[in-house]
């Protein structure tokens, strides 16, 4: 008799596991749940700062593109500009030491610097259908093949408990290492990132995943996505357009760079300078 073992995501904890251990699991499985990435106070602060926008945001997509609408989710609320809307996001999430540590190890071999791909609230409301399985790096088709370099790392933070019933992210462990990216995952290859609030599911841009179905009657699933991408690729979110110049002046150089308020400078590694203004690093209107 052949026994089929259900796939699982390994669970680590910031209190007991090192960055090296997180990287080891990521290399093997393409995704890992990490408990205690955000303290209860930080989760509370994020919710306090972002709940007004969460409550006001419309359910469902705004695009006229059917594919975008299907991806968005008819019962999902999404919004970005998190660094503008939340000081806690800018200080505790955008530059999270575990995520920047992962990005330094996995992205820096292929770029001089990386920047934020998107910081996004993804609230799956009751009755929300499951999203279709996808790889985040599908945004750059030439960079999402079995042989292309890794171009993106992501994390889904739980700002409420993620359960199988309320839409915990579905994941296909090991799918980043498939030799054929055209094949579809079978149901017995899919697991869910069930985790308490404050946890993060870190995953590679090549790992198949999707939002789960929210089968509850009244429980919204509050997720916050943050991803980084190689500094010479165009990100999903126009970060610097979502943050005012006056606010950007209050940020550190690292925060500014991640949001697009600094240029990409690869001149020391046989590359060029990208995202400049008058071929300078400082955008028009910003005086340092």
Say how many domains are in the chain.
1
Note whether residue 6 is domain-resident.
no
The pLDDT score that the predictor gives to residue 282 is 64
Note whether residue 286 is domain-resident.
no
Q: How many helices (H) and strands (E) in the chain?
A: 8, 12
Note whether residue 2 is domain-resident.
no
Strand residue runs (E) in 125-207: 152-158, 170-171, 191-192, 200-204
Note whether residue 288 is domain-resident.
no
Q: For residue 90, give the nearest of 82, 78, 98, 101 by alpha carbon.
A: 82
* 70 or 183, higher pLDDT: 183
pTM over 0.85: yes
The pLDDT score that the predictor gives to residue 60 is 80
The single residue listed with the structure tokens 């690729």 is 233
Q: For residue 127, give the nearest of 153, 166, 154 by alpha carbon.
A: 166
Note whether residue 249 is domain-resident.
yes
Residue 249 is classified by DSSP as T
| String of DSSP letters for 71-123 | HH-TTEEEE--HHHH-HHIIIIITT-HHHHHHHHHHTGGG-S-EEEEEEEEEE
Q: What is the percentage of the chain residues whose pLDDT exceeds 70?
A: 94
Note whether residue 37 is domain-resident.
yes
The predicted-structure confidence for 226-280, as pLDDT tens digits, reads as follows 999 999 999 999 999 999 999 999 999 999 999 999 999 999 888 899 999 888 8
The predicted-structure confidence for 189-240, as pLDDT tens digits, reads as follows 999 999 999 999 999 999 999 999 999 999 999 999 999 999 999 999 999 9
Note whether residue 85 is domain-resident.
yes
Note whether residue 48 is domain-resident.
yes
Domain span holding position 45: 11-274
**What is the CATH classification number for the domain harbouring 237?**
2.60.120.620
- d(CA 10, CA 285) in angstroms, rounded, equals 47
């Amino acid at each position: 008799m052949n026994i089929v073992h259900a796939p699982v995501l390994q669970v680590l904890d910031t209190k007991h596991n090192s960055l090296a251990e997180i990287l080891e699991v990521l290399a093997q499985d393409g995704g890992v749940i990490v408990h205690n990435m955000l303290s209860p106070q930080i989760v509370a602060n994020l919710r306090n700062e972002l709940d007004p926008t969460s409550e006001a945001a419309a359910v469902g997509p705004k695009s006229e593109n059917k594919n975008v609408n299907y991806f968005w989710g008819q019962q999902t609320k999404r919004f970005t500009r998190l660094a503008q809307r939340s000081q806690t996001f800018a200080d505790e999430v955008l530059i999270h030491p575990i995520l920047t540590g992962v990005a330094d190890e996995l992205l820096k071999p292929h770029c001089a610097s990386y920047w934020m791909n998107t910081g996004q609230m993804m609230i799956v409301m009751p009755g929300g259908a499951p999203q279709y399985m996808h790889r985040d790096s599908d945004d750059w088709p030439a960079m999402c093949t079995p042989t292309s370099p890794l171009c993106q790392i992501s994390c889904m933070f739980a700002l409420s408990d993620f359960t199988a019933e309320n839409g915990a992210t579905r994941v296909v462990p090991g799918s980043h290492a498939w030799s054929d990216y055209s094949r579809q995952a079978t149901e017995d290859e899919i697991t869910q990132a069930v985790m308490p609030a404050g946890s993060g599911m870190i995953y590679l841009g090549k790992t198949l995943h999707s939002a789960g179905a929210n089968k509850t009657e009244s429980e919204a699933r509050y997720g916050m996505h943050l991803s980084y991408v190689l500094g010479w690729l165009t990100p999903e979110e126009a970060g610097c357009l979502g943050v005012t110049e006056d606010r950007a002046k209050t940020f550190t150089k690292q925060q500014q760079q991640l949001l697009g308020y600094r240029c990409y400078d690869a001149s020391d590694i046989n590359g060029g300078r990208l995202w400049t203004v008058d071929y300078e690093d400082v955008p028009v209107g910003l005086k340092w």
